[in-house]
Amino acid sequence: MFCIERFMLHICRHEITGVITKVGSNVKNFKLGDRVGVGCLAASCLECEFCKNSQENYCDQIQFTYNGIFWDGTITYGGYSEMLVADHRYVVHVPDNLPMDAAAPLLCAGITVFSPMKDCQLLESPGKKVGIVGLGGLGHVAVKMAKAFGHQVTVISTSPSKENEAKQRLGADYFLVSTDAKQMQRGKRTLDVILDTVSAKHSLGPILELLKVNGTLVVVGAPDRPIELPSFPLIFGKRAVKGSMTGGMKETQEMMDVCGKHNITCDVELIKPDKINQALDRLARNDVRYRFVIDIAGTSKL
């Protein structure tokens, strides 16, 4: 165990970066002054097949860094504090070239889109045609990663106003308005892999039609109502639909290292703790691009 202080953290409390100030006697891979991050995972059983295979995020006994209840009854509250005590097994190094505030959301948003990209062999097979549904906190990072890995990227969105953002600022190659039938028709059977990052209820049917035969759609958004999954686009295209959530600790460190190599960060707006309520109000209006990060330490020089 060790202590980390001087946080930058995402407003949902589970994307935390800081500097180590104390290290336990059995900790070998971290030292005082290291720049580190803590994501969603606070603990797991360490004994199941998933823990032993570096997939702790799928452990049945997983405890999160927020709203989790440990086996001794204590509750986790995330990063709303000046200091955090963490198990070294759930901590990662933050590359020196990445700003702490812009790196913090990588610990959830970043790994959430990195994991399915790796699972679909997008890291080692450049030249694929990749679709990203939604251009928000997850989507904008997915665009950056897919471009860094050498793929042709198409953003699919309900908002025509995001086309310039997607193409000019983030580097997407193409942009489809999902409510425009003609655009969606032109995009049929053009994509190898699609990551759906949208958290609102929607039908997967029109999105599936964009996939080539044998294409894969990965759902990483989490709508609060069931999504529509028509059978015909699956059957007649031999397509696959799968889900994915964050990643294990080994994969999370790999993701951070890859982001350091390609200089990939999240687009954030840094706020002080006394602005949290205003940030929540803006968040409810979708008035953020793309993550609020709270500077708990009162300094942005980390």
Rounded to whole angstroms, the Cα distance separating 254 from 210 reads 30
Q: Are residues 124 and 217 in the same domain?
A: yes
Q: Is 252 exposed, middle or buried (0-12, 13-18, 19+ CB in 10 A)?
A: buried
Helix crossing, 137-148 with 249-262: angle to 10°? Answer: 70
CATH of residue 232's domain is 3.40.50.720
Answer yes or no: is 9 within a domain.
no
What per-residue confidence (pLDDT) applies to 4? 52
Domain termination residue (choose one: 204, 220, 243): 243
Q: Are residues 197 and 215 in the same domain?
A: yes
86-131 tens-digit pLDDT: 899 999 999 999 999 999 999 999 999 999 999 999 999 999 999 9
- Give how many domains the chain has, as a whole number: 2
Q: Are residues 239 and 205 in the same domain?
A: yes
DSSP assignment letter at 187: T
Q: Are residues 113 and 232 in the same domain?
A: yes
pTM: 0.92
Alpha-helical regions (H) of 197-248: 205-208, 232-235
156-210 tens-digit pLDDT: 999 999 999 999 999 999 999 999 999 999 999 999 999 999 999 999 999 999 9
Contact 195, 216 (CB under 8 A): no
Residue 49 has pLDDT above 70, yes or no: yes
Q: Which pair of tokens denotes residue 194?
A: 């699609």
Residue 284 has pLDDT above 60, yes or no: yes
Q: Are residues 203 and 252 in the same domain?
A: no
Q: Are residues 84 and 152 in the same domain?
A: no
Answer yes or no: is 302 within a domain.
no
Q: Are residues 167 and 279 in the same domain?
A: no
Answer yes or no: is 185 within a domain.
yes
Residue 300 has pLDDT above 60, yes or no: no
Answer yes or no: is 11 within a domain.
no
What per-residue confidence (pLDDT) applies to 298? 67
Domain carrying residue 223:
109-243
Q: Are residues 212 and 128 in the same domain?
A: yes
Contact 172, 197 (CB under 8 A): no
What per-residue confidence (pLDDT) applies to 235? 96
